[in-house]
Every structure is written in structure tokens, then in C-alpha cells.
Amino acid sequence: MTYETIVTRTEGPDSRQVGIVTLNRPKQLNALNNELMDELGSALKAFDADDSIGCIILTGSEKAFAAGADIGAMAQYSFADVYNNDYITRNWEQIRGIRKPVIAAVSGFALGGGCELAMMCDFIIAADNARFGQPEIKLGIIPGAGGTQRLPRAVGKAKAMDLALTGRMMDAVEAERAGLVSRVVPLDKLMDEALGAALMICSYGQPSVFAAKEAVNRAFESGLSDGVMFERRLFHALFATEDQKEGMDAFVNKRKPEFKNR
Ligand code: CAA
């Protein structure tokens, strides 16, 4: 499938591939408009439905993962435009419905909606030139794609308030220290690092990968007791899979497991 605002490709062995989506509006620093978000949604859903894909990477350019929602496109919108039509963010949450793990490989600016998009992914690997922020306050608005909700969950109230109220950027080191990103690597190693992580995920059995993602995400939606119970039910359910038998037998017999995704 050909897209106008993104590029897709796959990497890895035929049986377990990584689907890679690259945001591609270089002149606008990958500013996110409706067309791009529609195409991103289609590409992610296509990878999610493809049995040969085990993990997805979302990335941008060296200069910008994404510099936010497209300001030019929304500058003249009225309240009625955005409220009645749910413009700007109408299809953003669809990334949350993707069952396969989605890794954000972030270099350059991840601002506003770009930071929010990265936070919708399952984890963020950052290049050392990455810069994160929620600068919407400078435009007379606030984050509109989950930034005021996901950022405090990732970095705590103090830093989230600081970023949302001042509009300042934080660099990759600060973002890792704060817990927003899982790893920081030199810019020229970013895709190698993300691919390494994605291929490792691809090598595991899909039921346990899905369950791990669902269980960790549950931590953001429930209290501790409910979350622990949810985890326990998934944990028990995995004993009904062939992959659990295979994984444990391989360990006991000191061999490499061959997961069947069943
Ligand atoms: N929307 C539309 N175009 C954008 C853009 C955006 N969010 N960010 C950058 N661009 C465009 C610029 O207009 C410029 O285009 P021209 O060459 O045609 O003038 C081009 O990208 C390059 O940008 P700069 O010349 O500004 O590059 P820079 O290196 O000097 O600065 C930057 C980079 C700091 C990222 C700066 O571009 C910037 O501050 N961008 C806006 C960031 C922002 O405010 N994001 C939040 C948007 S609102 C939002 O996202 C709402 C939400 O929660 C959903």
C-alpha cells in the first residue's frame, strides 16, 4: 500500500517480521494532520492483522519524530469546527487498539501531539538528540491528545506541570531520568536499538507478549488489587498455551525454545 504522509516497510526473517512506520512530512517536521493520522491508523491496523508481523516500530526523521499537531491546519478552526467534528484528534486513540507492541523510536523533536503520540506507544527508545515537550500553552491551548493525562503518569505531577505550564522542552537524558523513555542511545544507533528490541519481542510467543502488554496497560486503568487480579488471571491462562509448555521445557532441557504462538 502506498501512503502520502508515511512510509512503511518490514525487517527481519520472513516468519517474524518487524513492521516499521516512518512519519514522512519532512517540510513540516512531521506535523500531524488528519491525513497522516488516518494513514498511520491504516498502516498500524494492517500490521496488527498480519500474522508475519510480531512487533511494530513508529519513527520519524533525525530532526523530528513529530513537532505536534499541524498548526497551519488548525489555526482557523472555531470551537464548533473542533467540537462538532472532533477535528485534530478524532482518530488518535486508534493506536491504543493495536494489540501488538508498538515501540516509538524518537529522534529530534517530539512536541505537543508528537510527544503524545510517542506516549501512546508501548515504550519509547530515544536518540540522544531527542527533545520532548508539551508547548501548547504557547499557542493559547493545552495538550489535546492525552498529554495532560499520560505525561503525569509517566513522569509524575511536578515535571508534567512544569512542562505543560512553561512549554519548555526536556532533553533525552532528562526524559530517561524522569521515566518517559526506556533507553537513550546515540542517534546513529537508534534504529539498530529499536530493531534489536523489536526482534527480541518477535522471538517470544505471541500469547505471552499480548498478555504482558495488556497487563502492564491495566496498571494505568485500575487500582492495585484489580490490576493484580487481572495479571493473575492472565498468568494462569498462559498455562493453557503450548508456548508455556515449550518455553519451560526448553529451559529445563537447556535448548532454545521454538514458540508457535499458540
Ligand atoms: N505544525 C505545522 N508546521 C510546523 C509545526 C507544526 N506543529 N512545527 C514545525 N512546523 C513547520 C514550520 O512552520 C516550518 O515550516 P516553513 O519552513 O514552511 O516555515 C518548518 O516546519 C520548520 O520549522 P522551524 O523553521 O520552526 O524549525 P526550527 O528548527 O526553527 O524549530 C520547532 C523547530 C522548535 C519544533 C518549531 O518548529 C516549533 O516550535 N514548532 C511547533 C511546536 C508546537 O507548538 N507543537 C504543538 C502543536 S499543538 C498540538 O500538538 C496540539 C495537540 O496536543 C494535539
Which residues are CB-contacts of 104 (< 8 A; sequence separation ≥ 6)?
57, 58, 59, 65, 110, 117, 118, 121, 123, 124, 125
Rounded to the nearest angstrom, the distance between the alpha carbon of 88 and the centre of ligand 1 is 15
Question: What is the average per-residue pLDDT within 65-88?
Answer: 91
Task: List, chain by chain if needed, residues with CB within 6 Å of any ligand 1 atom.
Answer: 28-29, 31, 67-72, 88-89, 109, 111-113, 116, 135-136, 139, 143-145, 147
Residue 48 pLDDT exceeds 90:
yes
**Is residue 46 pLDDT above 90, yes or no?**
yes
Q: What is the pLDDT of residues 77-118, one digit of tens each?
A: 999 988 998 888 878 888 989 999 999 999 999 999 999 999
This complex has an ipTM of 0.98
Across 235-241, average pLDDT: 97
d(CA 95, ligand 1 centre) in Å: 23
Q: What pLDDT score was predicted for residue 92?
A: 86
